Amino acid sequence: MQNSKFLSAIFAAGVTFVLACLMLGVKLNTEGTTLQVEGASTEQWTWIGLGIAVVFLSQLFSAQIDAFFSGLPKPQLAKVLPEASVMARLKPWLLAALIVGMLVWPFMVSRGSVDLATLTLIYIMLGLGLNIVVGLAGLLDLGFVAFYAVGAYTYALLSMYFGLSFWICLPLAAALAALFGFILGFPVLRLRGDYLAIVTLGFGEIIRILLNNWTAVTGGPNGISGIAKPTLFGLEFTRRAKEEGAMTFHEFFGISYSSSYKVIFLYLIAVVLVIFVIYLINRLMRMPIGRAWEALREDEIACRSLGLNRTAIKLSAFTIGASTAGFAGSFFAARQGFISPESFIFIESAIILAIVVLGGMGSQIGVILAAIVMTILPELAREFSEYRMLLFGLLMVIMMRWRPEGLVPMKRPHLELKQ
Amino acid sequence: MLSIKNINTHYGPIQALHDVSVEVKQGEIVTLIGANGAGKTTLMMSICGDPQATSGTIQFDGEEITGQQTSSIMQKGLAIVPEGRRVFSGMTVEENLFMGAYHRDRREAEMTAEHVLALFPRLRERYSQRAGTMSGGEQQMLAIGRAMMSKPRMILLDEPSLGLAPIIIQQIFDIIEKLREEGVTIFLVEQNANQALRIADRGYVLENGRVIMEDTGAALLVNEDVRKAYLGG
């Protein structure tokens, strides 16, 4: 036992050494037309040596370190929160306070924070959508960004070619994304696990490549710019109305123009959309179809033995998840004013999936928290933006060690023993 | 009630059932016994349409169900308690039961649930407990209860005694007899031949995918060959 520990520690240190040597130890410099290999400075070598020592020791004493960490008390959410009966009474008030807070908050902070909050809300929407597919129905979807793209391009194209307004396009985008989910779902849902993941991954790429190459319609890599912003009952948020005779927001209310109104307005739309999505999904989860999703994830054979049609159930999860992404997509296009296939690369799917896994599969509160963490942390750590992916990996490793069930795991009803 | 005529079932190129014919009449308990790999579970699954029989016919209540989708077969008043219980371990007893009544009106289902709980008082004690935390016997009761939630006229039971303690097995068999008294027809697949034949009206012996014997339960119980092969001499 001790021996194998030692060996694995040496192995890990060796791997670190090789990686560090390749990535940090040697540098390539161009001198004229030739490349020159240059070694790292003594100081860097000291750091590399230290790093290797840390890896070696942490591997050697991993059992002790684990014991130390498991000895640390885990945050007990149940102890912080008041008792269930009190909680049930407080809940509507807390919710109301939260919503009021969210509505009032943007008027008191900077434009940048509001913008960031809007982005977070988009990811919350996406996370909630994928949560149905992955968290509840247990279908691993690696191409979720495709539906997001469908939603965004639906609004962008309809607005560009037909001049349709955001509010008309919003349901259309959701419907079209749902249709795509449905079409993809049919052939794909006889697959399971890894195979399903691969096909959905491919689908995500197909959509992106299609958008990239169908230059005549989508503008290809140049994307679509100048997408119309949402209006409030026809009132625009620009300094001057685009059309003759139309009113802008500040003219109508007789206040001076400020560009932050537009940001706040977008934020408020996002809040409303998120609340709508949460409400809808909550209702669905309480309906038999929600139970059926979970049942299907737990045991497919049992589901079939009870006469549940697995295709219909999977398809419904896929479709509803996709429509949520379409929702988020069309809002994203409206907020950004510019979209290109660049916005819908695989890493977006990965981030959304990370949000769902990080939050705790199936748990709505968890997904919301994780979306906040995943969008705000990179902003806070802007100085470390070079190491963003590294931090991302570190976060995942820590989560797997410390809380593999997610931030706020899905709560199942359970019986409490009274003592 | 259930009449299976000359069905053949294949898994790819391998034939698992050869010309199997089984007849179950209303109100009967019919048991199917056989060794491992004889094709008992395959026969059960063929009735449910997964895998579908390659030839032959299966009729339930006079209606041809061969070739129909599993989900529609299972909505015709037929229920199966699958091998290995297969309860939804993350869900509570209540949620498990109501999954069984997925296609029924909630209010009607609640009445059936009341009936099931009367039959299995143990489940009432565990009503809001997660199914995965219960003992094997309790899970088996739940699996049977869940199957009953669709108010089936016939229940297929696939090895309900699998992996249970003898005293629990006795309870399960008592329950099966109780079900029959309520007018539910039962088709029982068992390796525990002794007990199964004791409560069965009739029995079939399956060997290598063929029905090799068919008689009343009592007659099979004393049959020399059956005793040697399945009852331990």
Cβ neighbours of A306 in B, within 8 Å: 74, 79, 99-100, 102, 146-147, 150
Q: How far apart are CA A181 and CA A133, in angstroms?
A: 11
> Which of A402, A322, A403, A393 minimizes the C-alpha distance to A361?
A403
Q: Which of B88, B98, B126 sits opposite A299 (nearest CB)?
A: B88
| Per-residue pLDDT at A163 | 87
Q: How far apart are CA A387 and CA A179, in angstroms?
A: 39
Q: Is there a contact between A412 and B50 if contact means CB atoms under 8 Å apart?
A: no
Q: Print pLDDT tens along chain A (419 aa).
A: 567 788 888 888 898 888 888 777 777 777 777 777 777 778 888 888 888 888 888 888 888 877 877 776 665 555 666 666 777 788 888 888 888 888 888 888 888 889 999 999 999 999 999 999 998 988 999 999 999 999 999 999 999 999 888 999 999 999 999 999 999 888 887 787 889 999 999 999 999 999 999 999 888 899 999 888 887 777 777 777 666 666 777 777 777 777 778 888 899 999 999 999 999 999 998 888 988 998 998 888 899 899 898 889 999 999 999 999 999 999 999 999 999 999 999 989 998 998 998 888 888 889 999 999 888 887 877 777 777 777 778 887 888 777 777 777 776 544 445 44
Cβ neighbours of B91 in A, within 8 Å: 291, 294-295, 298, 412
| Per-residue pLDDT at A81 | 61
| Per-residue pLDDT at A83 | 67
Gap from B177 CA to chain A (nearest CA, Å): 22
Strand, helix or coil for residue B130 = strand
pLDDT tops 50 at residue B167: yes
Domains belonging to chain B, first-starting first, are 1-77+153-233 (3.40.50.300), 87-151 (no CATH)
Gap from B135 CA to chain A (nearest CA, Å): 16
Q: Is there a contact between B102 and A307 if contact means CB atoms under 8 Å apart?
A: yes
Copy the structure tokens of residue A369. 């928290």
Copy the structure tokens of residue A404. 């593999």
Q: Is there a contact between A306 and B99 if contact means CB atoms under 8 Å apart?
A: yes
Copy the structure tokens of residue A36. 């020159």
Any CB–CB contact under 8 A between B108 and chain A?
Answer: no
Domain ranges of chain A: 2-66, 91-402
Cβ neighbours of B126 in A, within 8 Å: 415
Which residue in B has a C-alpha nearest to residue A136's C-alpha? Answer: B90
Cβ neighbours of A414 in B, within 8 Å: 92, 128-130
Cβ neighbours of A304 in B, within 8 Å: 48, 50, 70-71, 74
Query: What share of chain B in percent tops pLDDT 90?
Result: 74
Which residues make Cβ contacts (< 8 Å) with residue A284, sequence separation at least 6? A132, A290, A320
Q: Is there a contact between A298 and B91 if contact means CB atoms under 8 Å apart?
A: yes
Query: What is the model's pTM?
Result: 0.83
Cβ neighbours of B87 in A, within 8 Å: 299, 302
Q: How far apart are CA B218 and CA A323, in angstroms?
A: 61
Q: How far apart are CA B140 and CA A100, in angstroms?
A: 50
Any CB–CB contact under 8 A between B130 and chain A?
Answer: yes
Which residue in A has a C-alpha nearest to residue B48's C-alpha? Answer: A305
ipTM field: 0.87
Copy the structure tokens of residue A51. 């790093």
Size of interface A-B (CB pairs under 8 A): 78
Q: Which residues of B49-86 are buried (b: 16+ CB within 10 A; e: fewer)?
A: beebbeebebebeeeebbebbbbebbbbebbbbbbbbb
Q: Is there a contact between A306 and B95 if contact means CB atoms under 8 Å apart?
A: no
- Average pLDDT of chain B, as a whole number: 91
Cβ neighbours of A301 in B, within 8 Å: 82, 86
Handedness of CA B45, B51, B57, B59 (dihedral sign): positive
Any CB–CB contact under 8 A between B199 and chain A?
Answer: no
Q: Is there a contact between A299 and B146 if contact means CB atoms under 8 Å apart?
A: no
